[in-house]
Each structure stands twice: as structure tokens, then as C-alpha cells.
């Protein structure tokens, strides 16, 4: 019925706004955790909490999917370690060395990484508009990474935090492309398993942090930050996106991802008092314009993508 369809659309839009607000807050809240919890402890605890909360809801699907899980332990572990643990370890470490607004905008480079990997590894057909969109997005990321001075790339004179974010977006871009080979699992089983894999996969990073005497055990603020990261941007936002995708389709739902760098930038300025420089604004225009241009030629997605 038309009325029901309109109601579902409004509900989906509301859920998607909440999800993108949570994802936009992720880096900002992570910045608030600097000095209250160390990056590797936060990464491991975040995914351990997410997995623990998810298990009761996912249990029937985990039981049903157990034969598939046993068949692909290495592949599922790789999804969690690379896409969740390594991505978050790099991002939370980056927040110790660069501004949250930089981290937020740099994450918008993930679609460009996905595009490049699809072309280089999977030999997917490339359209002129996609090339132009990728070039614009890449220009925006370079502008942020070099703080408005692209010539710094030639001398490799990069802020350590911005360099770490390049590693982070490569990890998540690779994870997303690899989802084409995801085993046939219910989404609840898949997310729960890779959250657990991420928690375990982060333990070597915790060991390295311990060896360097750099561990900061969470205080009250640290616990608040890690619980929010686990439940807000992790489980709740992902669940809202999946339900919205079912209501209005992946193509329409995916457009909302473009709000993440906008919300994140606003939160960084309003909540952290960070300064918005000219190159931040220019990078936002380039990145969002590039994504919009590239997506205009993309076919509708067949399934939602998991997000850290």
C-alpha cells in the first residue's frame, strides 16, 4: 500500500540518520578517549563487548550456521582481524597524533580504495565518471593528509596520525572488496563471528603496547568511550542500516554514507572545539563530489556491507 511504503521510507530515513550520526561520532568519541584508554586496549575491548552483546541475539543463527563457520575459520578470522581490528587499531592510534576532523574526512577515502582494488584486483569495468569521481576523492584525501600542502607527499613529510589513517582506509577498503567472497551466513552470525575474531586479533597489538609500556587501562571516561564505540557505531548503527536496507534497498540506503564525514566534521568542531581550516572544507567538497559522481554510474547493491 502507498501509505505503508511512505511510512517504511520515513522510518528507514530516520534509522539511517541515527546510524550515520553514530558513525560520525565514532572518531570524535575516540578522540575523547585519548589519555583515558590506550588504542589497542580500546580496539580489543570494543569488539569483545560487541561480540558479547551480540551472542544472545545471534545464537539461533550461530547454531544453524555452525557447519559453515567451521568450514571457513581462516577467512572469517581475516575479515575480523583486517576489517575491524587493524582498521580500528590504526584509527584509534591516529587520533593520538592528528585531529578528529582529519580522521573523519580521511575515512571518506574508503570508496576510492574500493574502486581502485576492484579495478586492479577484480578487473572490473571502469567508466569515465568513476575515474573522475575517484580522482576527486583522492585529491580530497591528499589535501587532508598533507594539511593543504600536497608537495609534502614528495618528501614523505606526513603527520604520523594521517599516515596511520592511510593504513586504516586501506584495511577497510580491502575488507569491503573481500566481502564478495563472504561465506553464506546470516548477517547476525557473520557480524558476531568477526567481532569475536577482531577482539582476539587485537591481542597481539595489546601485547606490543604492553611491551612498549604504553598501555593505559580505562578509567571511567575510557569505559564510557569503549562501550559507546561497541554499542553505538558498532552493533546499533549496523543493525539500523541492515533493517533500513531491507526497507528501501541498498542503493538508496548507501547514499547516506556520504553524511558520515559531514556529521563527523560538525561534531569535531562543536564538541572538541577543533578548528575548521580551508583545506578541510575543500577536501569535503572534493571527497563528497567524487563519491556522488562515481555512485551515479554504480548498479544497485545486492547486499549491505558490514561497517566498523
Q: pLDDT tens digit string along 173-220?
A: 888 788 788 898 888 899 899 999 999 999 999 999 999 999 999 999
Give the pLDDT confidence score for residue 130 in this predicted structure: 67
Cα angle 249, 250, 251; round to 5: 95
> How far, in Å, CA of 15 to CA of 31, rounded?
25
Predicted pLDDT of residue 152 = 61
Q: Residue 95, SS3?
A: coil
Closest by CA to 242, choosing from 288, 186, 193, is 186
Query: What is the DSSP code (8-state) at residue 301?
Result: P
* Cα(231)–Cα(54) distance, integer angstroms: 10
**Sequence-separated (6 or more) residues with CB below 8 Å from residue 199:** 44, 45, 46, 47, 48, 50, 51, 80, 85
- Indicate the pTM of the whole model: 0.79
Asked whether 304 and 62 are in contact (CB, 8 A), the reply is no
Provide the pLDDT for residue 304: 44
DSSP assignment of 237-276 equals HHHHHHHHHHHH-HHHHHGGGGHHHHHHHHHHHHHH----
What is residue 2's predicted lDDT score, i.e. its pLDDT?
Answer: 56
Query: What is the chain's length?
Result: 308
Rounded Cα distance between 263 and 233, Å, is 13
Q: Can you tell me the distance from the alpha carbon of 267 to that of 203, in angstroms, rounded to the nearest whole number?
A: 31
What does the alpha-carbon distance between residue 200 and residue 132 come to, in Å, rounded to a whole number?
A: 40
Report how far residue 142's alpha carbon sits from residue 156's, in angstroms, rounded to the nearest whole number: 12
Instruction: Report the C-alpha gap between 98 and 167 in whole angstroms.
Output: 14
Could you give phi then psi for residue 68, rounded to 5 degrees? -70, -40
Please, is 282 exposed, middle or buried when counting C-beta atoms within 10 Å of its C-beta (0-12, 13-18, 19+)? middle
Burial of 192 from C-beta contacts in 10 A (0-12 / 13-18 / 19+):
buried
Each residue's pLDDT expressed in tens, for the chain with a length of 308 residues: 555 767 777 888 888 889 888 988 988 888 899 999 999 999 999 999 999 999 999 999 999 999 999 999 999 999 999 988 999 999 999 998 888 888 887 777 776 777 777 777 777 666 777 677 777 777 777 777 676 777 665 555 567 888 898 899 889 888 878 878 889 888 889 989 999 999 999 999 999 999 999 999 999 999 999 999 999 988 888 778 777 766 776 556 656 766 777 888 888 888 888 877 787 788 778 877 776 776 565 554 444 444 44
Contact predicate 27/107, CB 8 Å: yes
Res 119: pLDDT: 74
Q: What is the pLDDT of residue 52?
A: 95
Contact, 165 vs 106, CB < 8 A?
Answer: yes
Q: What is the pLDDT of residue 306?
A: 46
Q: How does DSSP classify residue 235? A: I
**What Rg, from alpha-carbon coordinates, does the chain have?**
19
The whole-number pLDDT of residue 305 equals 47
Cα torsion angle, 82, 85, 86, 91, sign: positive
- pLDDT score of 140: 75
Amino acid at each position: 500500500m502507498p501509505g505503508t511504503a511512505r511510512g517504511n521510507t520515513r522510518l528507514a530515513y530516520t534509522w539511517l540518520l541515527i546510524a550515520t550520526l553514530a558513525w560520525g561520532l565514532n572518531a570524535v568519541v575516540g578522540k575523547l578517549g585519548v589519555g583515558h584508554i590506550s588504542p589497542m586496549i580500546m580496539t580489543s575491548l570494543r569488539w569483545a563487548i560487541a561480540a558479547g552483546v551480540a551472542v544472545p541475539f545471534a545464537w539461533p543463527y550461530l547454531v544453524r550456521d555452525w557447519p559453515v563457520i567451521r568450514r571457513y575459520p581462516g577467512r572469517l578470522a581475516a575479515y575480523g582481524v583486517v576489517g575491524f581490528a587493524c582498521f580500528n587499531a590504526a584509527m584509534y592510534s591516529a587520533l593520538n597524533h592528528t585531529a578528529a576532523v582529519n580522521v573523519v574526512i580521511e575515512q571518506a577515502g574508503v570508496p576510492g580504495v574500493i574502486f581502485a582494488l576492484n579495478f586492479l584486483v577484480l578487473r572490473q569495468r571502469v567508466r569515465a565518471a568513476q575515474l573522475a569521481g575517484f580522482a576527486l576523492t583522492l585529491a580530497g584525501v591528499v589535501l587532508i593528509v598533507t594539511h593543504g600542502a600536497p608537495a609534502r607527499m614528495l618528501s614523505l613529510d606526513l603527520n604520523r596520525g594521517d599516515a596511520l589513517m592511510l593504513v586504516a582506509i586501506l584495511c577497510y577498503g580491502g575488507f569491503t572488496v573481500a566481502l564478495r567472497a563472504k561465506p553464506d551466513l546470516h548477517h547476525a552470525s557473520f557480524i558476531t563471528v568477526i567481532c569475536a575474531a577482531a577482539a582476539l586479533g587485537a591481542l597481539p597489538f595489546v601485547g606490543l603496547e604492553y611491551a612498549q609500556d604504553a598501555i593505559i587501562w580505562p578509567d571511567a571516561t575510557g569505559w564510557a568511550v569503549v562501550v559507546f564505540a561497541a554499542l553505538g557505531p558498532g552493533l546499533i548503527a549496523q543493525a539500523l542500516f541492515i533493517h533500513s536496507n531491507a526497507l528501501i534497498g541498498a542503493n538508496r540506503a548507501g547514499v547516506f554514507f556520504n553524511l558520515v564525514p559531514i556529521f563527523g566534521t560538525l561534531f569535531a568542531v562543536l564538541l572538541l572545539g577543533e578548528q575548521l581550516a580551508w583545506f578541510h572544507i575543500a577536501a569535503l567538497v572534493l571527497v563528497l563530489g567524487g563519491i556522488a559522481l562515481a555512485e551515479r554510474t554504480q548498479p544497485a547493491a545486492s547486499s549491505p556491507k558490514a561497517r566498523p
